[in-house]
Chain A
């Protein structure tokens, strides 16, 4: 059977899987196994659960005094949640640089292997914005030709985020809204 014309696509998927595993391995060595990360993670989970239960338990009929002390307590929890989320993002910064290096090297390798070559056939013709990536560096103007860049993008997003979810390394939901630069607000007394 003649080799499938787009057999290279499978090679790109395989390389993406291996590089995703390497990236998560590095992140595990540098962060996820450290006690600092584990304690931060459990603080975030515990605090966001407390806030959730407090939010769902505050009955409208609660006396004003009880409500006031509860909201003070809630503010304290939310502040601690913000701080530990920020510390968590900072701790991830270290491995982020190493992971970025790995992805950069893999991307360079793939670029040299597949520069100017259509590695797959898209079953749809993408909107011009997407074509900038999906038709990058390809000869001709067939919009359904797929470049390595686009296939690698699809691979790394779907494979890496699912691998993180599977290994339990995805960011905690409670801290979802907290970015690296979340400045803790000063509560007006």
Chain B
């Protein structure tokens, strides 16, 4: 494994040295499975937190708003990877796998934030 291999590896992995966030901002970088999954995970958690605080503060109440959040956050994730990043989902396990990144954690985070803000702000 001479230094030339190292150089070659570096050239090939030119993009992987960028962090997930830098690639997200750059928009058209090449992704590896883990990095894309992590970025989509954190985007989902951010959406869950923002929606939870917003729904709780207004307040928006009723089971329907859980479904609206689920549709909104899944639509946003789909928009990020297929329209903005222009990633071919098939290369990363299909739409199902990408849409599941951080789904359960974001659902519980959303319910927690919604319930906390609603309870503390309105009672």
CB distance from B59 to the nearest CB of A (A): 6
CA distance A123 to B60 in the complex (A): 7
Bound Cα distance from A122 to B114, whole angstroms: 8
Contacts of A120 in B (CB 8 A): 115-116, 119
A residues contacting the other copy or chain, number (CB 8 A): 31
Secondary structure dominating the interface of B = helix
Of A124, A154, A173, the contact of B37 (CB 8 Å cutoff): A173
A7 adjacent to B120 (CB under 8 Å): yes
Q: How far is the CB of B21 from chain A (nearest CB, A)?
A: 14
Interface string of A117-158 (1 = CB under 8 A from B): 000111111110000000000000000001000010111011
Q: Contact between B55 and A10 (Cβ–Cβ < 8 Å)? A: no
The range of chain B's interface size is 20 to 34
Closest residue on chain A to residue B117 by CB atoms: A123
Residue-wise interface mask of B (55-74) relative to A, using a CB-CB cutoff of 8 A (1 in contact, 0 not): 11001111101100000000
Bound-complex Cα distance A120 to B121 (A): 11
CA distance A125 to B56 in the complex (A): 14
Cross-chain contact B91 with A56 (CB below 8 angstroms) = yes
- Supply 19 further A-B pairs (C-beta < 8 A) apart from A49-B32, A120-B116, A124-B61: A4-B123, A9-B116, A10-B120, A45-B34, A123-B55, A123-B114, A123-B118, A126-B63, A127-B63, A146-B115, A151-B112, A154-B108, A154-B115, A157-B108, A158-B112, A165-B41, A165-B105, A173-B33, A173-B34
Offer 20 A-B interface pairs, CB within 8 angstroms, sorted by A.
A5-B119, A6-B119, A9-B116, A10-B116, A10-B120, A13-B116, A120-B115, A121-B115, A121-B122, A123-B55, A123-B118, A158-B106, A158-B108, A161-B105, A162-B45, A162-B109, A165-B102, A165-B105, A172-B34, A173-B34
Residues of A within 8 A of B (CB): 4-7, 9-10, 13, 45, 49, 52, 56, 120-127, 146, 151, 153-155, 157-158, 161-162, 165, 172-173
